[in-house]
């Protein structure tokens, strides 16, 4: 059997060059899924056409066709991304017919799925999420049951892209698609010692992805190494008329691709800002601070110049405001979700079971997603949510969100200019992962700030706690700076090689 553990795109392409077929590789991943997915519950729908898709790529390769780097690579896709032939359930039993709900069957692929197909990837299946992607910590309330962390079944796996992260971390796929509104790429990637790219808002289309906020939602890759994530971003990024906001990204993609600046010396001479109360007045745990100090020594050894708390005195931290009753999450920008869902449902096509927000609300009334005790009940504490809920067909007032977004971007840019920063480098979490079952959530450092501002971030493994929970850094930069952030992450990754293969359980 072909060994797929920790297999990278480069390794897969070398195997293809040596005569291994995509069909053989795909079967090896399907065998591994059969062995380990029952214990980790990462993949909730398998693609019955995966082997046929692999054989089609093999025929094209045998015919001498020039293929891209992801051709024949087995991947997974997050459940809320529309994919023809599969229901989009968003983890909710009320949107899953076999759990007593209704199936939302898309008439067309979402642009990101279509782009992965066009790149020749072999989509193995779709991955688990919590109900309506409401949390960045887990998938415990999914109709499919919890997803477990490959780094340790007792830890939170991160969310809402829990299934994608576990599938990649457990080597059930080479890489996967994730989506973020408030931590749902960076949290699960960090929780499982992976590379995740939370891209600049509007770089990657998210039409055809069930929304939580059309003002914050982004699609990005999760992978086991920086190069694989960069190659995937090459496929995902760019304009499409299906998602007009992506016109903003024209002219901002690197002409030679997101892997073009990857070099072991990329950190030399870079000025990097460090985490501190000027960014957010929430301290690191003692062990997180110790791991961060070690990472800082590694960064200095690689030639980086580190700037202590560059946001001190800038007023940046004071812009953050948790939405009651949430202790930490700033939900501004989510006010528009009824309107966003209306537009999403209209895109599903005339044969869809639900074609309007009113029909959605009626079909899910017994779950009442926006009721006072529901997973999204906190939205009533956003002053501009109520009018949108009352009239989902009308474009909502988002003046609160746009005002804070503008303030974030203005302050961020001023600090970067004053301190001559190339990027920020923070611990992605302030302390170690909480247990899977319990009241605690992931305590991150950048969720809200970069989601509202629309800024990019790249996570990279940076060590482990004594408990064996992963510790990751996140590089954050100006809008459209993904190529430079990936270069920094790559130089750090290549020098330190912190990621280690998880020891998987069979039960």
For residue 183, the domain's CATH number is 3.90.1300.10
Question: Total structural domains in the chain?
Answer: 1
Q: How far apart are CA 470 and CA 189, in angstroms?
A: 10
Is position 502 within any domain? Answer: no
Q: How far apart are CA 17 and CA 28, in angstroms?
A: 17
Cis peptide upstream of residue 12 (ω within 30 degrees of 0)? no
What integer pLDDT is reported at residue 373 of this predicted model? 85
Is position 4 within any domain? Answer: no
Return the beta strands (E) in 10-93 as ranges.
43-46, 74-78
- Over residues 291-307, the mean pLDDT reads 99
Residue 2 has pLDDT above 90, yes or no: no
What integer pLDDT is reported at residue 158 of this predicted model? 98
Is position 128 within any domain? Answer: yes
Residue 36 has pLDDT above 80, yes or no: yes
Residue 361 burial (CB count, 10 A):
17
Residue 190 burial (CB count, 10 A):
30
Q: Provide the greatest CA pair distance for the chain.
A: 62
Residue from 22, 78, 213, 336 carrying the catalytic annotation: 78
Is position 505 within any domain? Answer: no
Range of the domain at 210: 9-240+260-496
pLDDT 10s digits, 396-427:
999 999 999 999 999 999 999 999 999 999 99
What integer pLDDT is reported at residue 505 of this predicted model? 87
Tell me the C-alpha to C-alpha distance, in Å, between residue 439 and each of 65, 129, 471: 53, 18, 21
pLDDT 10s digits, 244-285:
999 999 999 999 999 999 999 999 999 999 999 999 999 999
The H or E element that residue 66 is part of is none
Is position 471 within any domain? Answer: yes
78 tagged catalytic: yes
pLDDT 10s digits, 345-363:
999 999 999 999 999 999 9
Is position 133 within any domain? Answer: yes
What tokens appear for 17 in the block?
Answer: 């060059």
What integer pLDDT is reported at residue 325 of this predicted model? 94
What integer pLDDT is reported at residue 264 of this predicted model? 98
Question: Cα angle vertex 105, ends 223, 346, to 5°?
Answer: 100
Tell me the C-alpha to C-alpha distance, in Å, between residue 319 and each of 290, 315, 409, 454: 28, 7, 11, 15
Is position 442 within any domain? Answer: yes
126 tagged catalytic: no
Q: How far apart are CA 462 and CA 292, in angstroms?
A: 8
**Rg, the chain, Cα only:** 21
Residue 507 has pLDDT above 80, yes or no: no
Residue 131 burial (CB count, 10 A):
24
Candidates 215, 161, 164; CA nearest to 330 is 215
Round the average pLDDT of the chain to a whole number and report it. Answer: 97
Residue 145 burial (CB count, 10 A):
12
**Local structure of residue 155 (DSSP, 8 states):** B
What tokens appear for 188 in the block?
Answer: 């699960």
What tokens appear for 87 in the block?
Answer: 């229901």
Order of all β-strands in the sheet with 218-223: 43-46, 122-127, 74-78, 175-180, 218-223, 195-198, 457-464, 470-476, 423-427, 271-274, 305-307
171 tagged catalytic: no
Cis peptide upstream of residue 325 (ω within 30 degrees of 0)? yes
Pairing of strands 423-427, 470-476: antiparallel
pLDDT 10s digits, 459-504:
999 999 999 999 999 999 999 999 999 999 999 999 999 999 999 9
What integer pLDDT is reported at residue 1 of this predicted model? 61
Do 504 and 170 meet the contact criterion of CB atoms below 8 Å apart? yes
Is position 75 within any domain? Answer: yes
Question: What percent of the residues of the chain are helix, what percent strand, and what percent coil, each to the nearest 5?
Answer: 35, 15, 50
Bridge partners (DSSP) listed for residue 46: 125
Bridge partners (DSSP) listed for residue 198: 457
Q: How far apart are CA 34 and CA 29, in angstroms?
A: 9
User: Quick one: pLDDT band at residue 381, thresholds 50, 70, 90?
Assistant: very high
Q: How far apart are CA 222 and CA 170, in angstroms?
A: 12
Q: How far apart are CA 46 and CA 23, in angstroms?
A: 16
Do 187 and 101 meet the contact criterion of CB atoms below 8 Å apart? no
Q: In whole angstroms, what separates CA 234 from the centre of its chain?
A: 16
The proportion of the chain whose per-residue pLDDT surpasses 70, expressed as a percent, equals: 100
The H or E element that residue 218 is part of is strand 218-223
Tell me the C-alpha to C-alpha distance, in Å, between residue 232 and each of 262, 330, 404: 14, 29, 31
| 3-class secondary structure, 179 | strand
Residue from 93, 133, 137, 160 carrying the catalytic annotation: 160
Residue 372 has pLDDT above 90, yes or no: no
pLDDT 10s digits, 119-150:
999 999 999 999 999 999 999 999 999 999 99
- Over residues 74-92, the mean pLDDT reads 98
Bridge partners (DSSP) listed for residue 75: 123, 175
Residue from 22, 184, 190, 314 carrying the catalytic annotation: 184
Give phi and psi for 155, each to the nearest 5.
-90, 155
Q: Is 468 left (phi over 0), alpha (psi -120 to 50) or beta?
A: left
The H or E element that residue 195 is part of is strand 195-198
Do 26 and 74 meet the contact criterion of CB atoms below 8 Å apart? yes
Do 58 and 163 meet the contact criterion of CB atoms below 8 Å apart? no
Q: How far apart are CA 76 and CA 89, in angstroms?
A: 16
Residue 324 has pLDDT above 80, yes or no: yes
| CA count, 13 A, side-chain hemisphere, 12 | 29
């Amino acid at each position: 059997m072909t060994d797929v553990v920790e297999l990278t795109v480069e390794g897969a392409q070398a195997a293809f060059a040596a005569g291994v077929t995509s069909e053989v590789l795909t079967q090896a991943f399907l065998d591994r899924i059969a062995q380990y997915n029952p214990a980790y519950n990462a993949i909730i729908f398998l693609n019955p056409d995966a082997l046929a898709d692999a054989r089609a790529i093999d025929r094209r390769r045998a015919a001498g066709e020039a293929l891209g780097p992801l051709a024949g690579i087995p991947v997974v896709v997050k459940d809320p991304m529309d994919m023809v032939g599969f229901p989009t359930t968003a983890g909710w039993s009320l949107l899953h017919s076999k759990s007593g709900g209704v199936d939302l069957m898309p008439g067309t692929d979402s642009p990101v799925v279509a782009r992965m197909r066009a790149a020749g990837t072999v989509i193995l299946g779709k991955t688990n999420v919590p109900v309506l992607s409401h949390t960045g910590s887990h998938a415990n309330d999914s109709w499919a049951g919890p997803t477990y962390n490959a780094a340790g079944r007792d830890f939170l796996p991160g969310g809402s892209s829990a299934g994608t992260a576990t599938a990649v971390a457990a080597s059930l796929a080479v890489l996967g698609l994730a989506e973020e509104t408030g931590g749902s790429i960076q949290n699960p990637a960090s929780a499982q010692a992976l590379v995740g790219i939370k891209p600049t808002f509007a770089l990657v289309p998210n039409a055809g992805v069930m929304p939580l906020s059309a003002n914050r939602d982004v699609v990005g890759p999760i992978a086991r190494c920086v190069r694989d994530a960069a190659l995937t971003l090459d496929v995902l990024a760019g304009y499409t008329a299906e998602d007009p906001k992506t016109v903003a990204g024209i002219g901002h993609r690197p002409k030679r691709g997101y892997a073009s600046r990857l070099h072991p010396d990329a950190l030399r001479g870079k000025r990097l800002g460090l985490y501190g109360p000027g960014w957010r007045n929430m301290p690191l745990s003692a062990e997180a601070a110790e791991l961060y100090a070690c990472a800082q020594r590694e960064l200095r050894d690689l030639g980086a110049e580190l700037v202590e708390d560059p946001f001190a005195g800038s007023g940046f931290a004071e812009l953050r405001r948790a939405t009651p009753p949430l202790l930490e999450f700033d939900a501004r920008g989510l006010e528009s979700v009824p309107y966003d869902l209306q537009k999403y449902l209209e895109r599903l096509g005339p044969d869809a079971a639900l074609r309007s927000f009113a029909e959605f609300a009626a079909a899910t009334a017994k779950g009442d997603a926006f009721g006072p005790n529901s997973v999204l009940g906190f939205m009533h504490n956003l002053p501009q949510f109520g009018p949108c809920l009352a009239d989902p067909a009308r474009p909502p007032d988002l003046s609160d969100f746009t005002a804070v977004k503008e303030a974030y971007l203005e302050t961020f840019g001023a600090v970067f200019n004053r301190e001559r920063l190339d990027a920020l480098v923070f611990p992605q979490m302030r302390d170690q992962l909480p247990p899977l079952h319990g009241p605690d959530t992931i305590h991150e450092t950048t969720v809200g700030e970069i989601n509202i501002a629309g800024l990019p971030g790249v996570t990279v493994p940076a060590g482990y706690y004594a408990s064996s929970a992963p510790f990751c850094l996140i590089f954050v930069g100006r809008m459209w700076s993904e190529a430079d952030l990936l270069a920094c992450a790559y130089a750090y990754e290549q020098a330190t090689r912190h990621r280690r293969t998880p020891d998987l359980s069979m039960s």
